[in-house]
Structure 1
């Protein structure tokens, strides 16, 4: 992949009727309408120049939508990534009272989900442990790690981890130590990093310096970068976001994404757009650069990581 940061499309919101976010788009909740929207957004994304697409089995029907689209279009120049370890449980039920996703980092779950995901080959370039944690057992599950190593050797893909939570740095450090048959297993890291959650900045720079792949998710802090009276703690940030948005004639989403590009220069920043209009707005982040003074000011709005994740855990599925 190019060293220049590209904006990719993540299908977390496209593949299921409810997602953790404070901004809600009005869209019919039927599976048929969601699939039609997904196909339309995927087509537009490619037309707009997007070449990186990220999904997971737990994103409702998202992975199947991507499979169907890729079989139909057969674009050879796309880079696809997916994950394993979570199962979608809400079954398209609005207001589902149970856990929408259940984590299981077992060998059997890996084999079950890989059986489906591998149809995305050869454009499938990265296969990730979905939301790896220290207590999920993945880093000590020698059978699952060996299976991932065999997949890596057979396909030539990168094996990666995605991370969430206040201990992302510790998770990444642990993943970096994992070796199978004397070889580092994990070379790709999908990490939450944004204006409000900057705790991973140092280790992400280290990863990039070591030629690892860094993919940034939740660039818009699950919608919290948009002005909202429920978050008075961000009032100063909202004022400055609006100033920059007016100055560059873009939306606040583009400011948030550009901050990541200019401060970190990762390989990919994921857009979580649900519609083509949202995606077009996100892509405006590629049309300008922030000044050093502006980047510094945005860095000041970083919150304490523990508080950020407590706040995120309180957000509802909508």
Structure 2
């Protein structure tokens, strides 16, 4: 049975290409085969006890796939979170000039919210997809009011996901936003992993009001898995290999367990695109890292600016 802290992110099963380090394929895209593979991953997650699924309109056809799959379950214990603000444009073409674009307008919120309703009755939360200062969404009172109305009328939680070297500053700003003297946001989906540990500087403040913390990119888009292209992480890879041998699990499970133990979040998301990857990820919770193990991993934190500059170099594949 899976750890109760592990959820499944659907970006990798809703579109064939993602910013990540993984095996790429130039095979012709087959929609039916793609959906069949996605259903297998969802079924495997469910059988392993996963009951939290994260999706977004920006993840290709992930919402459609998840909506169809939910009809086969009729299980009120399954919780779905979606986001709004990114529009997927690649149409499954790896060589597309633009894979997605951001639109944080109230009009886009209204449009994507209507589409996301296919996820009811399992839909429990709605988040701004990758909130930034540049998009102006944190100052857009029309957006705030619309999300507050959705929160109250649908009885769902409202949140945001953040990325970038200044994600802590974005979180601080978000915590200040109130409607009718009530904090607007209660879900904070944050990039956190062995390399980018900046969340820890604001962790207690976020948790103080009982807010949910969702961890994404726990494997640093694949950079935490041994890779010859990143020789500067040799000592980290060596440490992960040692801990993998110690606990008889993969480096991915070690990295995700670090997230679970160091943050104690509501959920850590697996971004698995195959059943094999998923099963390896879900070995989280079958062991506990010692204080000495955690200390070793804490020591590999990098500066956010360096982390995100390196991430910008990753390609769609």
TM, length-normalised to structure 1: 0.96
Distance 2:144 2:159 in 1: 11
Q: Could you say which residue in structure 2 is the equivalent of 1:203?
A: 202
Q: Could you say which residue in structure 2 is the equivalent of 1:169?
A: 168
Q: Could you say which residue in structure 2 is the equivalent of 1:60?
A: 60
What does the per-residue CA deviation read over 1:91-116, in whole Å, with 9 as the maximum and x for residues that have no partner?
111222x2211001001100100001
* Residues 245 and 26 (structure 1), Cα distance of their counterparts in 2 relative to 1, 3 Å cut: farther
What is the correspondence of 1:1-318 to structure 2 with a 5 Å cutoff? 6-24=5-23, 29-96=29-96, 98-318=97-317
What does the per-residue CA deviation read over 1:225-257, in whole Å, with 9 as the maximum and x for residues that have no partner?
011111111110000000000110000000000
What does the per-residue CA deviation read over 1:86-145, in whole Å, with 9 as the maximum and x for residues that have no partner?
00010111222x221100100110010000102212311110000000111111111111
Q: Retained in 1: the 8 A contact 2:63–2:119?
A: no
What does the per-residue CA deviation read over 1:52-83, in whole Å, with 9 as the maximum and x for residues that have no partner?
00000010111111111112322211110000
Distance 2:206 2:4 in 1: 15
* Residues 26 and 288 (structure 1), Cα distance of their counterparts in 2 relative to 1, 3 Å cut: farther
RMSD: 1.3
Q: CA deviation at 1:173?
A: 0.6
- SS at 2:283 equivalent: helix
Distance 1:157 1:172 in 2: 20
Q: Retained in 2: the 8 A contact 1:273–1:279?
A: yes
Distance 1:26 1:138 in 2: 36
Q: Retained in 2: the 8 A contact 1:12–1:55?
A: yes
Q: Retained in 2: the 8 A contact 1:259–1:290?
A: yes
- SS at 1:139 equivalent: coil
Q: Retained in 2: the 8 A contact 1:20–1:317?
A: yes
Q: CA deviation at 1:27?
A: 9.5
Distance 2:53 2:125 in 1: 10
Distance 2:228 2:112 in 1: 41
* Residues 26 and 95 (structure 1), Cα distance of their counterparts in 2 relative to 1, 3 Å cut: closer
Q: Retained in 1: the 8 A contact 2:194–2:258?
A: yes
Q: Retained in 2: the 8 A contact 1:86–1:104?
A: yes
Distance 1:224 1:265 in 2: 22
Distance 1:65 1:27 in 2: 23
Distance 2:295 2:26 in 1: 38
- SS at 1:36 equivalent: helix
Aligned pair count? 314
Q: Which runs of 4+ in 1 moved over 6 A?
A: none
